[in-house]
Structures are given as C-alpha cells and as structure tokens.
Structure 1
Amino acid sequence: MARAENKETAGPAARMAATLAKKLRLRAGLTQEQLGARMGYSGAAISAMETLAQPVSDEMLVKLEEVLGDGTGIFDELRELVRLERLPALFREYAPLEQKAATLSLFSVQNVHGLFQTEEYARAQIAGGYPPVSDQRAEELVNARMARKALFDKEPLCLIELILDESALHHKFGSEETMREQYRCLAECARRKNVTIQILPLGVGLTGENAGDRGMMNLVETAENDRVVYLEIGDESVLISDPAKVRTYAQRYAKIRAQALDPRESLGLIEQLAGEGT
C-alpha cells in the first residue's frame, strides 16, 4: 500500500532524484547491490528508491552525492527541493523565507510553534490531526519539520523571538512524558543566545486588552531588510508583503510582546511545567 501510494504522490524532485541516481549508477557500471554496498544500503533499498516504491530519504541523498555526485552538488540541490515537496502545500511558499531569515518574530496560539517542537510532540500532533494522513505521510511531515531546526545554528545567526499563548502549553499531545520533553526543549531553546521566548498569560484579557486574540503570525525579516507576514487559518495560508499591512501586523506583535511575561518569568513558567522549577 505504501509503495503504490508513494509512486502516485512522489513529486518532481523525488522523481528526478530517482531517475538521476539510476542513470549515474548505470554510467558508473554499478549494480544496485554494488551501489548499495558503497552507500551502506541494501540492493533492495536502492531498487525501492529508483522505482519510487519508497521515498528517497535525506540521508540517502547525502550518500548519493558522496558516491555518484562527483563533486557537482546535484544531489545536495535536490535535497532542498525534495524537502520542500514533503511540506504541506500551504507551507511551501513560506518555508524558504524562514530558512533565509535574519530575524523571526513568531506568535503561536493553539500549539507549540513547529520550529520548536520535539520529534515526538510533532509526530503526535500530525498523526492525530484531521483529516488523517497515512503513517508514511506523517513520517515525511515529521522529518520535514525536524529539518527546519537547522535554522537555529545557521551562520550568520538568525535572531528568533517566540511568543507562546499560555494555552499552547496546556494543549497536550502524545503523553505526559512527551509534554515534559517538549517543555524541556522549550527551556533549552530559551537559553540560546539567539532565541527569546515569552509567554502570553491566560489572564491577559482581564486587563481589558488582548492583542493576541486574532491568532498566530510569523514575521520574517531578511538580510536585505525585506519584511513579510505569514498567517495560517485552518488549512489555508497567506503570505503578506504589502508594507502597510506588514507594519500593522508588526505593531500588533509589539503589543503582544508588551502584554507577555518577560523572558525570565516565561522561562520560570516553562521550567515549572517541565518539573525543573522550584
């Protein structure tokens, strides 16, 4: 079932990788077993990749570049395209902007922002959503989400600010241990020099104002000082680049930040949830 599904749903980049791998293998005079031995895979795994019976993995593309790429970097380029294909359609236009950002200002309401999710939290959220997805598709989405974390360590450093509505910390996915690990992950991220995390408290509206009541937003600023806003509403998304509209969202974000707990208080709350607080 998974084999038939992958053959039908494989995107152009995955198909190109499979075709190119087979052609370069044949040009090198290698059997599937011989290529697999050089890459650390079985011949059956190479066959499954070439016939699209199984999706080509990120790790396999790295090995293909080492063994067949001949220094061209072609499979490295295909890695980026294959990663994009695995993302939900609504996210594909935004994803490259996120990875190239100089500054990210994020506000998440219903759940922990995807960039900060642990693997188990992401798996539980994706697998438990509706409409349901196949196990294979769920793993593709989890892997794609985990790959985004490279942003934390890219050079030059991206400055990342996350404001979490406190309700996101209490919407639980997976198990209690999954949630504890997620809280620990947030605490570790908050201690990074290029990351700031703040919590918008549940009772913020009791003051008469709640600038975060209209939902999530991602503000992206590039190295060229261009700014865009990304929004998701249900299964739809919108990318906003109009300067006047972006300015309004930036002002709203600044108001949310002002209403949130400061970074030290926020870390203390997260540590308490993780069982690390006093």
Structure 2
Amino acid sequence: MSDPGGSTRASSAAFDGSGAGGTGGAGRVADVLALASAAATTDGSPPFNDQSLVELRSGEARVLGDGQAAAIVREGEAELAVHPEHRGRGLGARLVQTVLDETTGPIAFWAHGDLPGARALGSRFGAVETRRLLQQRAPVTSRAPRLSDGDRVAAFRPGVDDTAWLDLNARAFADHPEQGSLDQGDLDARRADSWFDADDFVLLWRGDELIAFCWLKVETGQPGEFYAVGVSPDHQGEGLGGAVVDAGMARLAERGVGTAALYVEGDNTAALRLYAARGFTDHAVDVQYTLTR
C-alpha cells in the first residue's frame, strides 16, 4: 500500500480488472512502471517488489487500476500504489475495495515503507499486521572473509551454476514464502534485468558443494543491496553467513559502493545479530497487513 492521505471521494480512475497480458498489455505495463517510479521517488520505497514486477512483465500477475492508481495482484497477495499527483482523492481506498471485490479468501497487502496512509488504509479495512520486514543499511567496509581450508569464493556462472544454486536456495529458504519458491524462470527473468551482474552473485563452495551464497543488486545512485543471502541447512553454525556477507561487502567495496542495504525479517534474531555486528542499523520497514475473509 502506498497512499499517504486520501479520502472516500469518488474519482475518475478506471478499474477494469484486466490483466497485464491482455489487450493493451504493453501499455498497461508501461503505465504501472511509470507509476511505480513516481511513487518510489516521492516515498523513498518502491511500491512493488521484484517478483511482482517479473510477473507483471510476463503477464502472470493481474493488474487492477490505471496510471493514477494500480494494484498488482498475485495469489493471496496484493501491492498497490497511488501516483503522488493524484493522492488525497480516495483512490487508495477505492483500489483496496476493488481488490477485495475481485478476489476471494484471505489476502495480504504489502505496505512498503509502512507510510501513514498505508496504515490508515489497513486500519480502515480491518487488516492485521502479520509480517514486518526491516530494511537496514551500513557503511561498506572491506574485510577478508574467514574461510575454512578448502572453501573458495567464486562468481556465479550463468548456465553452469543454475541447478546448484536453485537447489540450495530452495533448501535455505524452505520456510520463506517468496524467496524459497524461485524457479528457473524466475532466475532467468532476474538475469535479464539491467542490474544483474554475475560478478555480484557471490558463491561459496566447498569442493563441488555449494554451501552459501550472497547475491548483490547494484544500481546507479542506490545503495548496494544484499538481494539474498543463503546458507546450506547442512552447514548451519559454521560461520558461513558471516563469511559470505563479508565476501559481499568486499565485492561492494571493489565496485566503489559506499552504502550497503538489505532486508531482514523482524523476528530473525540470528540474522539481525549477524548484520548488527557488521554495522547494519534500521533504515525503513515494510509491513504485511492481512485481511481474513
């Protein structure tokens, strides 16, 4: 949800319920991407996550709304944004209602940045906070990762390491509702993004076994993001999380990036402790509000 302010007054926004892949799909995608860019510039947080944008471009996600206010609806989840120039007109409330009218069963709304308008919408519709995702930041510092004898750090090799990484990612994030479900198509879609750089995808190997990874997302003018950090469940407690994060920090330093960013679940005590030891502090928060029907 991204709608600071807003009333119940009707507006002229069209909510036709069509998907991105239907008639005029390319134009619909362009409109939503332009809306997302405007909202992110004003709010400091993107209104839609990467998986939503992947499914938007592929036509898998359903889009409700137009260039003034739009929602990307996936199975059991929705993200929405109102253009900064059209806020205060009740578009956010109308869009939430449209999502509810067009879906059934429990639905979770992500409020990126947890803005006051999003909290007000959640309260108005009786949604309850069910997840809290912290965005943390830290100055980039370069220190050599502490590796066990025989362990090595290497860049991801597209087309070679795909299967090994997908297997490790699925096991490392077996309980994670988004990251753990990534498949080859999702990996290919991210590799096609302009920000992808295989040298920013850091893998930690022990012989022929992939035991940990650190995937970085570096975009011009933005902090270097620890996009995903995973450790094999078979090697928990060996200090591999710290080692691979340090390897990621070294890569960011090599690229001349001054600030690192990451997202971490608010109840992940072990990860919070690891990141705190490397200077990460809270910068923003994303909240998931769930409405049970």
Asked if these proteins are the same fold (TM beyond 0.5), I'd say no
The structure with the greater share of residues assigned to strand is: 2
Larger Rg: 1 or 2?
Answer: 1
Q: Given the two structures, how large is their TM-score scaled by the length of structure 1?
A: 0.30
Greater relative contact order (Cα 8 A, min sep 6): structure 1 or 2? Answer: 2
What TM-score do you get using the length of structure 2 for normalisation? Answer: 0.29
More helix as a share of residues: 1
